[in-house]
Amino acid sequence: MRDLTEAQVAAGHAVGIVCDSTTGGDYEERLFEAMKGSLALGIHRTPMQRHVGPGDLASAWRTYRIIQELRPDVLHGHGAKGGAYARLFGSLLRVSRFRVARLYSPHGGSLHYDETTATGKLFFGLERVMARFTDCLLFVSDYERKTYRRKVGEPPIPNTLVYNGLRAAEFEAVATAANAADFLYIGMMRDLKGPDIFIDALALAGNELGRPLSAVMVGDGDDLPRYHAQVERLGLESHVRFLPPMPARDAFALAETIVVPSRAEAMPYIVLEALAAGMPMIATAVGGIPEIFGENSPALIRPDPSQLAAKMGTALSDFDGYRKLMPQADELKARFGADVMAADIEKAYFAALHK
């Protein structure tokens, strides 16, 4: 979101952000503070719980009043809740004879539901209804586009694939610290992202190699105490270091190889950022990750501790050889540059405005 807004501001657009105020921490607060001065429409934070609940009516009313006052030309909602707000409130503004383009980017969330369950049928039925209030769907991965088609149906409205993009500075290599650990996990501390898989694999690979592996785990979340307990239970407390959220490139310098052990993903920025920084990676073949590496990349595994442990051993046994298996920077920049992303999204905005 930061990269996209920066590119849109540079192109001369007046940009604002309306988002949840209950999530994030000090690091996210610093990012918001750094962006504030450049956004003509400001940053507006209000409580928006992720799941459907009794607070939604009050949250929706607060959000609508903010958007009503801003009177934007374009409302671009991200994720299920943001997508619902953008499309509903954009439609209400149209009733007031104010022209606004309504765009929606699905990001996992409701798309993770099983379409055969009552909950899945409810959410996907709502998505089909919401298509009537949508001018364009913007997918961040072909995986999500295919998932939408399979679970919701063929979109009856314009839709396009626009990959997440990185700024030019993010394609500069990161120098690894002299005392770097073997492996790095960076992300939310929740089972969906696989920290437990990472910890189990560290123990398995260490036993196989006959030496304990060192690791750094960067992130925060409600499940963090459970991962501390898992590390202690496996006797790894002197080899695994937990650190709070920090800029990704600062974290990259702390280890030789990055691991993304997620059970589910859309198009994770952390994979793009690490590869752009020249870091070797091991990642699970879930969501849009294979679209970054290539379907047959030897860097991809299933979200399984045994497979991850085996790949850790491979990376450690021939580090230089393993690094050469990563996608090339020029190819990544051509597909995942912020300038490419912003230009494609701008094109979708203007097309939606002139429907």
User: 139-180 pLDDT, tens per residue?
Assistant: 999 999 999 999 999 999 999 999 999 988 999 999 999 999
| Per-residue pLDDT band at 316 (split at 50, 70, 90) | very high
Burial pattern 74-102, b for ≥16 Cβ within 10 A else e, equals bbbbbbbbbbbbbbbbbbebeeeeeebbb
Dist. CA 190–CA 166, nearest whole Å: 25
What domains does the chain contain, in order, with CATH numbers? 2-165+337-353 (3.40.50.2000), 169-335 (3.40.50.2000)
pLDDT of residue 238: 97
Q: What distance in Å separates the CA atoms of residue 16 and residue 5, rounded to the nearest whole number?
A: 8
With 0-12 / 13-18 / 19 or more C-beta atoms within 10 angstroms meaning exposed / middle / buried, residue 141 is buried
Residue 25's pLDDT band, with cuts at 50, 70 and 90, is confident
Task: Count Cα atoms within 13 angstroms, Cβ side, for 146.
Answer: 7
* Residue 188 confidence (pLDDT) above 90: yes
- Segment (H or E) for 92: helix 79-95
SS3 42: strand
pTM of the entire predicted model: 0.83
